[in-house]
A and B are shown apart, each in its own frame.
Chain A
């Protein structure tokens, strides 16, 4: 049922174009722009909740303290004054920065992370299917967009004319290239099951029940089908988005703030924003590839809209990153390189070959 329903479902731009009575290329452009604006705002809202509020609350809970609780319910309204405060800070341009590149980096980082959401199926909300585009090479595209972020980091690191920034930028590249390959190879081991790179089809392929224990059916999510790949992907994903224990491009106790040392005011906000959207993009890829996209875990809960499940899954990943932030020590740069090239790479190839053999034998 899931496969057919998803295939016939219209994408967000088409739905908007139909609603406005437009057709052809103008309809696609207008529908695409409005749809893109909606998706960007969903992500901005989530970031606004995560950055100034949830992160503080979570860290406070982990360290047994009280965080923002003065303005509004649970201190939620801190988001508004914080946004104004951050935007109205003075922008200090350090001496000798490489000007166009220094200004471009804070645009590229959030833009690249947002762009990844173009192909992510975020599920239904009533009659609306929140999915902007569904190209056949979806999975390859989302990895391509997500890795543009390291270009922004290296631009920021180089242009800042600061030694800490340059080291942060170099570390960011070393880290991203070390974990990019395990990330993609592990995702490919899942593609073997699905037989497609199209996001909606990868989700649809997870729509059946794997097996039933005591009346509870376990869905055929790839996290349950191939848990080893799930763990590998989770670790590589944490490194790819630069969160603890792999936050060495920022490493506050070693290189001040890494590539963002020289950034202040709105530029700093844009880096912060880009990182959060990147975490959510990492969570979204995990959700689509391993956790059944926007599907409910058991059929009894299908009355809750898919979009809600999708948000729950992304936030579960966000909570996991924050848990690691409070619980795990940072790895050193030499350990990072060795874990990446000697451990993760070999394990991800082993996983790919084993999956291929098992799938080949079963078929």
Chain B
């Protein structure tokens, strides 16, 4: 039943930005000028598009790691909810043991990723070289 109320807030939450956009459309001027619509690149004429931009592999590495840990949090949720009741029924060993094993396996995974450098920021070789040449590496 609470979903109707949550849905209502979703409707209002989308409605407010749309209303503000409509109000702004009535108020704002439109003066199209040459050069105004160029993307901002610190005042220079933009080179190429942003879509061909090369970015650090690290963003991909941590995203992979996130998938694993995010699924893991989903599995910890129900355990945390019933934990204190479960301790009373089956005792601490049987309530906590399997979860410790589960978290332990994941932490071994994290240690592996850590040692392989998946969670350390990769610096581009060119930037490192430039730094070394300047002598402040």
Taking Cβ atoms with an 8 Å cutoff, the residues of A that contact B are 11-13, 25, 28-29, 31-33, 35-37, 39-40, 44, 84, 87-96, 106-107, 110-112, 114-115, 117-119, 132-135, 140-141, 160-167, 170, 173-174, 177-178, 180-181, 184-185, 188-189, 191-193, 195-197, 256, 261-262, 265-267, 269-270, 333-334, 337-338, 341-342, 345-346, 349, 352-353, 356-357, 359-361, 363
Contacts and interface: CB of A to CB of B under 8 A. Distances in A.
Contacts of B38: 94-95
A345 to B, nearest CB: 7
B21 interface: yes
A145 B6 CA distance: 11
A334 B40 contact: no
Contact of B103 (A12, A184, A349): A349
B134 interface: no
Nearest to A256: B40
B24 interface: yes
Nearest to B52: A163
Interface in B76-92: 76-77, 80-85, 87-88, 92
A195 B59 contact: no
A261 B40 contact: yes
A169 B62 CA distance: 15
Interface of B: 1-14, 16-18, 20-21, 23-25, 27-31, 36-42, 46, 49-51, 53, 55, 58-59, 62-63, 65-66, 69-70, 73, 76-77, 80-85, 87-88, 92, 95-96, 99-100, 103, 107, 110, 114, 119-121, 123
Closest 6 CB pairs of A and B: A334-B121, A133-B2, A32-B8, A266-B24, A360-B92, A111-B13
5 contacts: A36-B13, A161-B51, A189-B80, A338-B121, A356-B99
Contacts of A177: 62-63, 66, 70
Given A91-B24, A353-B100, A118 B119 contact: no
Given A94-B38, A133-B6, A165-B50, A363 B87 contact: yes
Given A110-B17, A334-B121, A163 B69 contact: no
B4 to A, nearest CB: 5
A173 B63 contact: yes
B28 A33 contact: no
A265 B5 contact: no
Given A91-B28, A196-B81, A349-B103, 9 more contacts: A36-B8, A36-B11, A37-B12, A87-B20, A111-B17, A114-B16, A162-B50, A178-B66, A346-B110
Contacts of B39: 94-96, 160-162, 262
Contacts of A25: 4
A337 B1 CA distance: 41
B121 to A, nearest CB: 3
Contacts of A178: 62, 66
A181 B21 CA distance: 35
B103 A353 contact: yes
B114 A88 contact: no
Contacts of A160: 39, 50
Contacts of A140: 77
